[in-house]
Chains A and B, each alone.
Chain A
């Protein structure tokens, strides 16, 4: 991460990209300039639709047919725009390598992984023999952290997990020995512990090849830990750029400030309320006058609405595009973005009670797995949830965290009676649930509102439906639905629109209003904000907190994002392969994790704070989560456990393999630290 010579290897100057759309042309990139210097990592951040990926595709000459590009892209002294395909192909791979979000489409499914890496090796060293190329491929695969690389070279891409595939792509990029690596959201689809592995592999690739890297991501934490310099994009333009320290500690553009303020932090205190940025990014299908951020900016004046601010230096190489960047010195997000309290529903709060509202007692869920083919032979059982117990009281939020395959969503479905448990039961006020009788008390908000809202119903009808189902009259249900929509911040004309006519954040608000319609006491929130951009996510989190406090609701908050859980939850349960490995008070679990898995999980979450992030000690787990069809005996975590693989004696290991650790005092580990 040292800054090397300041020679430019890749320069983008006044780049514009537009795509044809059914309503005309959408200008996705509106004059972007940045330069990548030898050996550095340039982070490009922005929310969805800001043009960051279109920029990368334009650089690589990979834009879809019909796209128009203007401006200039220079690699060293060579102009790349306007090159023929075969000329570009020579540059791609040789000098510029790309790592995409979806590694499956970047690998050819009909060739073995070893062959594809060896191919790249041979393309770069034509003199090398077959055997030598394969040897080199194995070395590269080991370098990026593929366990047993020698045994796995003959495997095909589909036999690798997502994180492994991404590392294979990085190995191929290394084999090309490029001058520039462009990584477009390389870890977005991955779990945090896997993300840490991939980021490590990317770092190895950088160190081995000395390539400069463009790291495109929406995750400010990843940028803080990896990048030297940062470019912040908004609505197809660069709005701020500078070193990570400058951008993260002294942002001079309100959008950057808003982004940082809207981010829940794993290290932050909970009471610091998030400062969401109101509104949504502008549509790019017509020209924008003035500053594109003005409609969402609390500081905007008439000047902002009529005249576009240039990207101008504020301090040395720190650039910002804002008329008032001088006023932003030492301003905190909460100074600039004032809180906007929503009118809450005029419902009376849930009465406090001493006993827990919901109790999950020893929940078990197994699914039968059948093979394909005529006879659909039984292939065993998928152990989705194993002996999970918890309870939930009035006004309390229990965070359920875990990576994919940990059984979080299955638990949600069990609570909602969408699935029948294989064992154990769910109690409501101490009584077993009758299959549909609890409809009023327990409600759920799903992850993807596009999927959980019927596309053929209007917002008002959607929110009124639970009431209609439960026998409320048409007119009365409608009045209540409009009231609920108002209380989640959707008022007036919006009530007659269909889900696709809303933005992601607004859709999730409809989902929340619908869940509140029956005046429940418990909300199950299944990844309610993970499909949303950060600035919008903050708004929904604030709304959820307000509703909980005003109505005395209890939340079961399911998420893979530890920062969000730390922000909203009172207590936390950490799941691994269907079992609770650690549970307890939020601060205790996150500040002093006792289970080796929790420790690794917490250390893998990137903090959007460059100095802290770089000073942190990181526990990178090896390998992938084992298949829940055939989970490891004894402690399910032992195959990846740093203690088991490193610190323990053979006798201790035998206990890990032979005996399932009980959840004692909040930790399920035989050798838990006190």
Chain B
């Protein structure tokens, strides 16, 4: 891993860190496979959805057809083509999930790191705020907030914001706990002795060392966000018809499990694929960022 290339003058330049991380990630086979699966799913949803000759919001003359060449995923009782709907739903779900994970991951990490590093009153105040958010009945709050948003085209973004606002305390608490132990380490004291400020310590020393834990937390939030969106849609608040999401599809079709199982299983399969692949990608990323692991895993 020690590769030094010469770039101008006599100063050896290190291989950029991102390249080392990428190399280690690619060595993790399951994670690499998951990344391929996930990218294919996203590609299929966004490009495939646009190319497919049925649209998710156009009725076809076929009602309740089982999967066939014409309708690979079948159709539902009202004549929607399920493949088109699943692709559209995947778009929405992936957008919401990634948005939630990114926002609550970044915000929660910084919040937790600041609280943990400062300690004392700052810590108490910040963590009580986080606790307050946690004890809100999440679904009810989300329902009320999302209800006002309605079915506008940017609705998913606001749903994402609401979900992120409700999930960041999980990340914050986790990161704070980690920072409490990290800040006792001497390398933090060492950084202070040569004059590093709090923000430098947080971004340069604390967060990189907490990255593994943060990534795992964020991948769990991806799964949580998909499920939360499902729950919201189920009680009628999340994404609304004619727009659709994987959660909405499942809740619409839950009664059809016995009679027209394809309506339930195809969206279900997509949810499982997304959740699993994101989890494995998270594992791979955690190991890739942890330079102390680089040798053991092949």
Q: List residues of chain A with CB under 8 Å of any chain B CB.
A: 22-23, 413, 416-418, 436, 439, 442-444, 446, 448, 451-456, 458, 460, 465-466, 469-470, 475, 478-479, 482, 492-498, 500, 514, 517-518
Contact = CB atoms under 8 A, between A and B. Distances in A.
B18 interface: no
Contacts of A454: 187, 191, 204-205, 208-209
Contact of B186 (A417, A451, A496, A518): A451
B91 to A, nearest CB: 36
A475 B292 CA distance: 26
B154 interface: no
B15 A470 contact: no
A458 B11 CA distance: 16
Task: List the 6 closest pairs (A to B, CB-CB), nearest first.
Answer: A466-B194, A452-B186, A439-B195, A456-B208, A454-B187, A451-B186
Contact of A460 (B14, B15, B204): B14
B39 interface: no
Contacts of A456: 205, 208-209, 291
A488 B143 CA distance: 63
B11 A478 contact: yes
B70 interface: no
A553 to B, nearest CB: 16
Contacts of A439: 193-195
A496 B196 contact: no
A498 B186 CA distance: 16
A465 B11 contact: no
Contact of A495 (B12, B209, B295): B12
Quick one: which of B14, B187, B205, B296 has the most chain A CB within 10 A? B187
Contacts of B194: 439, 443, 465-466, 469-470, 517-518
B132 interface: no
A451 B291 contact: no
A498 B21 CA distance: 14
B107 to A, nearest CB: 22
Nearest to A471: B195
Contacts of B291: 455-456, 498, 500
Contacts of A460: 14
A444 B195 CA distance: 12
B3 A453 contact: no
B185 A451 contact: yes
Contacts of A22: 296
Given A439-B194, A444-B193, A498-B292, A453 B4 contact: no
Contact of A482 (B12, B200, B295): B12
Nearest to A418: B189
Given A470-B194, A497-B2, A498-B292, A453 B14 contact: no
Nearest to A467: B194
Contacts of B14: 458, 460, 495-496
B128 interface: no
B59 to A, nearest CB: 56
B195 A493 contact: no
Contact of A470 (B1, B186, B195): B195
A492 B2 CA distance: 10
A494 B187 CA distance: 20
A624 to B, nearest CB: 26
Contacts of B208: 454, 456
A442 B14 CA distance: 30
